[in-house]
Chain A
Amino acid sequence: MDGQSCVMIMNEWDIVAARQLGRHAAKELGFGAVDQARITTAISELARNIYHYANGGKIYIDKIEEKEKKGIKITASDHGPGIPDIRKAMEDGFTTSGGLGAGLPGVKRLMDEFYIDSKTGEGTVVQVVKWLR
């Protein structure tokens, strides 16, 4: 692990700050323009979820290395109400056509790895990874 950075998400401006941090790390790792845009879109989505549903939380950005692979790991963590039905939240449907953004299935598509855990009343953790190719 190589230096973790973190942004508190309390208001809409923090979403931009999280994007900024993510883009900076992605650029440093050597991600191309398209992947940078994908990574920041995923960060936006996770940060927006925190802002809209959890009343505050954190976004962590990590540069990671594993078996000669380099990548970026984004962790979104909050102590909000939690997602009662994760399967439903992950259901692929018409998320992009509703004008509400990519949704969790979109985030999963944008990244290479996706992990979610949520407990009602305790909060939600979403962790995603994109590997450098």
Chain B
Amino acid sequence: MAFDDDIQMKYKEMLANYIQELTEQALYEGQRFSWKAIEHKIPPEEIINIHLKVLKELFPDIPKKILDSFDFLLEVMVGYGLAYQEHQFLRGRQLELKSEIEIAANVQQALLQTNIPKVEELDIGVISVPAKIMNGDYYQFAEHENTMSVAIADVIGKGIPAALCISMIKYAMDSLLESRQNPSYILENLNRVVEQNIDVNMFITMFFGKYDFRTNKITYASAGHEPGFYYCASEDHFYDLQSKGLVLGVDRQVKYEQYELNLFQNDMIILLSDGVTETRTKEGFIDRAAVTSAIRAHLHLPAQQIVENIYKDFEKMQGFQLRDDFTLIIMKKNV
């Protein structure tokens, strides 16, 4: 490497120049040299050694005691050199880990892939954004002959452990959805799966709804999930989607109550994860009314645009730093 070869000559030139002129420009050269040296992985003790050699060349009659003092300095700096090398190594390791996690996130994304149904009766908009690289929120749509189901779940916690947990839920759901059962049946089954397979310190909340195109009725149940909203167009009013139910994985005997709601033209069902309501501004957490008024502000738009606009608004409100995974689903009754 060319830099390594004439490093001592370069250093000598720069040092001599500085001693001669004592200018800021000459010092700045020194700083630029340090970046180059770091780039070439030259440890600190090596720099001291070069400094010593150059000093000997520039001032042949330096007292021996001063020269000897450099042995002491070298001894001290070897430790720093080791710490520096270790730091370089750990930095490399960190980059490796990061790319590994990114690959895992892609795998997860492929795994959780769900198609949003395109149906005449409903206009559906979805956004789901992870706070870190991997998503601890999950949603899934499924279409059957005359019905459509929607699930939204949230693992308490975020990052990789939450994401691993979610992948398991997805598999359990896939087989459960085949059964085309009622929301309460689905949640009760899932609850047993979670209770058996997941660490006691990990909790999952879930909302599950089933929409019947023949009756325009949505049947739903919730396992401790952040309540969604029901927008009644004829009253122009937002209601909380009332439901009771324990989070998944706590008690295997738990029963989930089922609720029903008839949808009419322009009515909306809004589902969300607590990442939406726990949006934090400088003044503290926003309240649920902030969510409904945000929806109201975009009411005239298609569902997908509403959720995207709300995400942008909320992202901006918290200074573009998501603290929790953010998932928002809006289903609007068309005809």
User: What residues make up the interface of A, taking CB atoms closer than 8 Å to B?
Assistant: 32-34, 37-38, 40-41, 92-97, 101-102, 105-106, 109-110
Contacts and interface: CB of A to CB of B under 8 A. Distances in A.
A105 B86 contact: yes
Interface in B39-79: 45-46, 48-49, 52, 70-71, 74-75, 77-79
28 contacts: A33-B49, A33-B52, A33-B70, A33-B71, A33-B74, A34-B45, A34-B46, A34-B48, A34-B49, A34-B78, A37-B74, A37-B77, A37-B78, A38-B45, A38-B78, A41-B78, A41-B82, A92-B86, A92-B90, A94-B90, A95-B86, A96-B82, A96-B86, A97-B83, A102-B79, A102-B82, A105-B86, A110-B78
A95 B83 CA distance: 8
Interface of B: 45-46, 48-49, 52, 70-71, 74-75, 77-79, 82-83, 85-86, 89-90, 93
A34 B74 contact: yes
B75 A40 contact: yes
- Identify the 9 closest CB pairs spanning chains A and B, nearest first: A96-B83, A37-B74, A34-B49, A37-B78, A41-B78, A106-B82, A37-B75, A102-B82, A96-B86
A37 B71 contact: yes
Given A34-B45, A92-B90, A110 B82 contact: yes
A33 B45 CA distance: 10
Contacts, number: 49
A41 B74 CA distance: 11
A93 B74 CA distance: 24
Nearest to B45: A34
B75 A109 contact: no
Contacts of A32: 49
Nearest to B47: A34
A105 B90 CA distance: 13
Given A92-B86, A102-B82, 15 more contacts: A34-B48, A34-B74, A34-B78, A37-B45, A37-B77, A37-B78, A40-B75, A41-B78, A92-B90, A95-B86, A96-B79, A97-B83, A109-B82, A110-B78, A110-B82
A97 B82 CA distance: 10
A97 to B, nearest CB: 7
Contacts of A97: 83
B172 to A, nearest CB: 36
B86 A41 contact: no
Contacts of A109: 82, 85-86
A92 B83 CA distance: 11
A101 B77 CA distance: 13
Contacts of B83: 96-97
B18 to A, nearest CB: 23
A41 B89 contact: no
A33 B46 CA distance: 9
Contacts of A101: 79
Nearest to B75: A37
A105 B150 CA distance: 53
B4 to A, nearest CB: 12
Contacts of B78: 34, 37-38, 41, 110
